[in-house]
Structure 1
Amino acid sequence: MPYAIVVVPVAPLRAAPAHRSEMISQLLWGEGVEIVNTAPDGWVEVINQYDGYSGWASLSHLEEVPEDVYHHPATHYLSDWINEVYVNGRPMMVPFGCLLKGYTNNLTAKWGNVTVSLQEKPHILLPTGSPVDPKRLLADAMKFLNTAYLWGGRNVFGVDCSGFVQNVFKLSGVPLLRDASQQATQGTTVDFLQEARLGDLAFFDNPEGKITHVGLLLDDHEIMHASGKVRIDPIDNQGIINADTQVRTHQLRIIKRLF
């Protein structure tokens, strides 16, 4: 099947091939996708190379590339909150954390018929196989603080709970799946909240027992999560308490350690 790379800052990934369909996730600039199906009016069903999530995207947001370009690993990520890149010589502003795939030493890449380049170097090398630095993880997480909650969002202009933690861990070289219920299957279990440390993930369930929320633990009594906006709230053995209203908002289910 054809392969492509996302060539717009953020592209919606929808449940069905229509602009009115629910946005179930987002594709970020520089991410690779595999095209598995087509529909009328320029819609294609794709699988995100990074997390395996599938949905419908507009072909106008993608550039088809050879298989070897698709499989070329990302080596860096854009480290400013907003970054200027050039696509076929024209400027484009893309959000924090977008990956750089197929770049040469002079920070240019060829994605099919599109040439992309950086005029400056607001980029950081992606870690590979090295221990995660909790301080770096926290610094990346803080760039999302006060970002508005957006169902399906995966960037600093709008993010959901699992999109938030997925992106933070991505920048430390730790891949997470897309949804909170999927992420809860990863890592090892931490038995007690009192044993939690910076970087552990806490998962929360609804009255039916389904995991519906995730957040990044800062220690054994504070959590950073996307609920209304990305915020820091207290947590105890029962769950999250909203720091502003003192109302309990989420019921703790399980804690996982990824590194």
Structure 2
Amino acid sequence: MSTYFTINVCVANIYGEGNFGSPVVTQALLGESCTVLCETEKWLRIKQSDDYEGWINKFYGVVSDAPYDSNRSCNDLSGVIYSDAHSKNPLREITFDARLNSTKSDQGWSVTLPDGTKGWTESALRKNAIDLNRDAAVNLSKQFLGIQYLWGGKSPKGFDCSGLIQTIFNAMGVALPRDSGDQSRYFINHKINREKALPGDLHFFGTEKSVTHVAMEVGHGQYLHCQGWVKEESLDKNQPNYNKKLEASYLHTVSTGKCLDQNH
């Protein structure tokens, strides 16, 4: 029988080893239930739904025999859960794609957090995935413009390059791998000439030995990625936002049509 650890804070760091001096490898968001693999006095080794494994401190969440019963996800970049609609006593921050057990109430949502605490939020919550198509991918990606880079980050509090791409596709109901190298392998049979890239296709960068960076085509040779911050740059050397240094490490482009074109 599986044991689950559900995140009970806005964003929780997951580490390579069971101590805060270890490198952060990824993050988990409020309401995400992870499978417990083993534990020490203060730390748990967990597996996320994308099969990523790492160590998390126990104070970030709650242990249970069943996953958290979430039914909606946060559709705003950020928000707050209050104790109720009137006192406005803050209980938690929330961020895009946080998962909540919620019911509609006057001018907002009544929510039950993973630890059983009751609260209320006026943030926009969605029951289903965002529309699965190329326009939706681009429109969502542009909501994240300006958000800073954060190693291991996968929320509007900070993204790394592959965390950004995973977040965009996850919101549309597509479970991509966590790292850029694995994302490249996921689409490896769908390589295309980059001049034929459509909005939502992916460009990969790196060395002969490994993929180290990913960006998403947004149209007309422009791509969106997180390098320092989420920004749009160009594959065209005649454009003012051409990134010459990144161009030098370009590897290949893949079509994401097997995901984004399935409704057409």
Task: Sort the TM-score into its range (normalised by shorter chain).
Answer: 0.7 to 0.9
Could you tell me which amino acid in structure 1 is paired with residue 75 of structure 2?
S
Could you tell me which amino acid in structure 1 is paired with residue 120 of structure 2?
L
In 2, Cα distance between equivalents of 1:86 and 1:8:
14
Instruction: Name 2:233's counterpart in structure 1.
Output: 233
Residue pair 2:225, 2:231 contacting (<8 A) in 1 also:
yes
Quick check: 1:196 aligned with 2:193? Answer: no
In 2, Cα distance between equivalents of 1:139 and 1:35:
35
Residue pairs, 1:75-224, within 5 angstroms:
75-86=71-82, 90-100=90-100, 102-104=101-103, 107-108=109-110, 110=112, 113-127=115-129, 132-187=132-187, 189-206=190-207, 208-224=208-224
Gaps of 5+ in 1: none
Residue pair 1:241, 1:247 contacting (<8 A) in 2 also:
no
Residue pair 1:143, 1:156 contacting (<8 A) in 2 also:
no
CA shift, 1:105, in A, is: 5.4
CA shift, 1:136, in A, is: 2.5
Quick check: 1:10 aligned with 2:11? Answer: yes
Change (3 A) 1:47 1:157: same
In 1, Cα distance between equivalents of 2:64 and 2:166:
26
Residue pairs, 1:243-254, within 5 angstroms:
243=240, 246-249=243-246, 250-254=249-253
**TM superposition score normalised by structure 1:** 0.84
RMSD across aligned positions (CA) = 2.6
CA shift, 1:111, in A, is: 5.7
**TM superposition score normalised by structure 2:** 0.83
Higher helix share: 2
Could you tell me which amino acid in structure 2 is paired with residue 197 of structure 1?
L
Change (3 A) 1:48 1:36: same
CA shift, 1:186, in A, is: 2.0
Gaps of 5+ in 2: none
Instruction: Name 2:60's counterpart in structure 1.
Output: 61
Could you tell me which amino acid in structure 1 is paired with residue 19 of structure 2?
A
Could you tell me which amino acid in structure 1 is paired with residue 129 of structure 2?
P
CA shift, 1:53, in A, is: 0.8
